[in-house]
Amino acid sequence: MSAVFPPHGAVADHHDDHDHHPHGWRRWVYATNHKDIGTLYLLFAFTMFLFGGVLALGIRAELLQPGLQVVNPELFNQLTTMHGLIMVFGAIMPAFVGFANWMIPLQIGASDMAFARMNNFSFWLMIPAAVMLASSFFMPGGAPAAGWTLYAPLTMQMGPSMDAGIFALHILGASSIMGSINIIVTILNMRAPGMTLMKMPMFVWTWLITAFLLIAVMPVLAGAITMTLTDRHFGTTFFNPAGGGDPIMFQHIFWFFGHPEVYIMILPAFGIVSQIIPAFSRKKLFGYSSMVYATASIAILSFIVWAHHMYTTGMPVTGQLFFMYATMLISVPTGVKVFNWVATMWKGSMTFETPMLFAVGFIFVFTMGGFTGLILSMAPIDLQLQDGYYVVAHFHYVLVAGSLFAMFAGFYYWVPKWTGVMYDEGRGKIHFWWTLISFNITFFPMHFLGLAGMPRRYADYPMQFADFNALASVGGFLFGFAQVYFFFFVVLPCMRGQGQKAPQRPWEAAEGLEWEVPSPAPFHTFENPPKLNADATKVIG
């Protein structure tokens, strides 16, 4: 039976006795099956992605022309803040957890996640948090408008929605921590015999490292926003200089969370791409162990670079130099990953179905984000670019062209296994090219705006910035429509089971245990630990 939404009548076809589970709404509310929860996470994340996207289009509509036309500056700041919070905490992070839920048990030969009920809880916690976050627009004074970075003391001036936002982040953080614990325990305890750590698929490896990052830094964020909360209501002065506090301390704490968070959002993307490139190159991943070590080094280095977000706060010269060197160092393991992907493609036998297109698009555009990252790591140049549109361009190149493209790649790669039907290849290609081109129309001009000195989070700008802003806005709307197209013309048909029936192995050279189960993956898989071949990619009886 389809693991997602069974077409009517299909239920009667299969009555295997391991297929007993609640039907109707209970199947989802009481869900303990990793596949169902994975689906819930992905749908939730896509909903939030569209919501955050609408907010982004509000921003781009206002910036289409100089002068205020669409929103006032208060609402504009609310839009930028909420766009950031929702995309980071509501879209990208849950989407990767969705991928983890679906794929990790399948890839390591486990029957389910280690803590099935906690899995349910960590998903359903996100709903009230998301509702609270989204409804903050209707609270007195509107949504939080202090930027997604929530810098003190601006947060002191916010209305009650700031508290709602803080609680929402607390809940989302708790959900993330539970998800991470679940992922770590699943990976460490539930691998099929023979699946040693160094034989695990790269996606599992990157998620294992990501989960440790999450456990390390989510409590730090919780601490920072709790201090903000007590500063706001209980008379503490953690960030208030009048009481001996320090507003810059907030930035240190926030970015101690925030920089590893950046890698939380990109490491699983590396994992997905590391699965797809070999599959469509018909060649093994080049330098598997160096990929693992590079991922781990990126994760470790991510803890000692946070203050490169703060070069303009006025750090001592040694501080600036330390953070500059450490940041530049990250380009080494990141470079190793890119070189390994290219080496995997080298002398392969490549085909370019949609997953591969998105994966190659990822490498190309993500690397451009890497270059701008390298340029921004240089403290003297950063002084020109800090808090400007160059930074906006940079992090959208790594988060949209990085994380999002990798997720699209992963979706097209695994959707035959999830739903049992092939997506429409032509539509997938349209989605790819439309997305890639409109993405670049939107964000490439922002580099120029940033170099020319346009600050970010500006509702209105000098006339000289008008043309590139108009171009970016046009691109932004095209990009948004591409994702609506993706949902209605790719995702929905797959979920409804429309399309060609997918074989068990839709991709000729894809390796891994997920291709050892039928398409769609049955409700329960690997109920008994499978026996694996020597390199743990095939089930042998």
Partner 1 sequence: MKNPSQPWNPLATVGAVAATLFAQAAHAVNDLPGGPANRQLNLHTPATKLAQEQADLHVFMMVICLAIFVVVFGVMFYSIWKHRKSVGHQPATFHESVKVEIAWTVIPFIIVIAMAIPATRTVIAQKDTSNADLTIKVTGYQWRWGYDYLKGEGEGISFISSLDNEHRILSNNGAKGAAPDNYLLKVDNPLVVPVGKKVRIITTSSDVIHAFAVPSFGIKQDAIPGFVRDTHFRAERTGDFYGQCQELCGKEHAYMPIHVKVLSEADYAAWVQQKKAAAPAAEAPKAAQAPVADVVAQAAPAK
Answer whether 210's CB lies under 8 Å from 179's CB. no
Answer whether 486's CB lies under 8 Å from 50's CB. no
Least Cβ distance, residue 390 to partner 1 (angstroms):
10
Least Cβ distance, residue 354 to partner 1 (angstroms):
15
- Tokens at 120, concatenated: 């349910």
The H or E element spanning position 44 is helix 34-63
Q: Identify the residue among 146, 166, 168, 213 touching partner 1 (CB under 8 A).
A: 146
For residue 313, state whether it binds partner 1 (rule: CB under 8 A).
yes
Residues carrying an active site annotation: 83, 112, 148, 175-176, 259, 261, 263, 274, 308-309, 334, 337, 456
Cis omega (within 30 of 0) for bond into 219: no
Closer residue to partner 1 (CB): 123 or 389:
389
Cis omega (within 30 of 0) for bond into 455: no
Q: Identify the residue among 349, 498, 504, 533 touching partner 1 (CB under 8 A).
A: 349
Residues 175-234 that bind partner 1 (CB under 8 A): none
Q: Which stretch binds partner 1 (CB under 8 A): 70-78, 86-94, 162-170, 268-276?
A: 70-78
Could you identify the residue written with the tokens 């295997």? Answer: 16
Residue 497, C-beta contacts closer than 8 angstroms, at least 6 positions apart: 2, 5, 6, 7, 10, 419, 420, 421
Closer residue to partner 1 (CB): 111 or 237:
237
If you write DSSP's letter for every residue of 472-489 in order, what string do you get? HHHHHHHHHHHHHHHIII
Closer residue to partner 1 (CB): 24 or 235:
235
Could you identify the residue written with the tokens 């048909």? Answer: 493
Region of residue 453 (phi > 0: left; psi between -120 and 50: alpha; otherwise: beta)? left
For residue 533, state whether it binds partner 1 (rule: CB under 8 A).
no
For residue 137, state whether it binds partner 1 (rule: CB under 8 A).
no
- Tokens at 283, concatenated: 């060649």
d(CA 1, CA 248): 55
Size of site (CB under 8 A) for partner 1: 103
Least Cβ distance, residue 451 to partner 1 (angstroms):
5
Residues 468-507 that bind partner 1 (CB under 8 A): 468, 470-471, 473-474
Q: Which stretch binds partner 1 (CB under 8 A): 197-205, 218-226, 452-460, 494-502?
A: 452-460
Q: Identify the residue among 7, 73, 159, 493 touching partner 1 (CB under 8 A).
A: 73
Q: Identify the residue among 10, 14, 27, 67 touching partner 1 (CB under 8 A).
A: 67
Neighbour tally for 365: CB within 10 Å: 22
For residues 323 to 342, the per-residue mask of contacts with partner 1, x marking binding by CB under 8 A and - elsewhere, is -xx--xx-xx--xx-xx--x
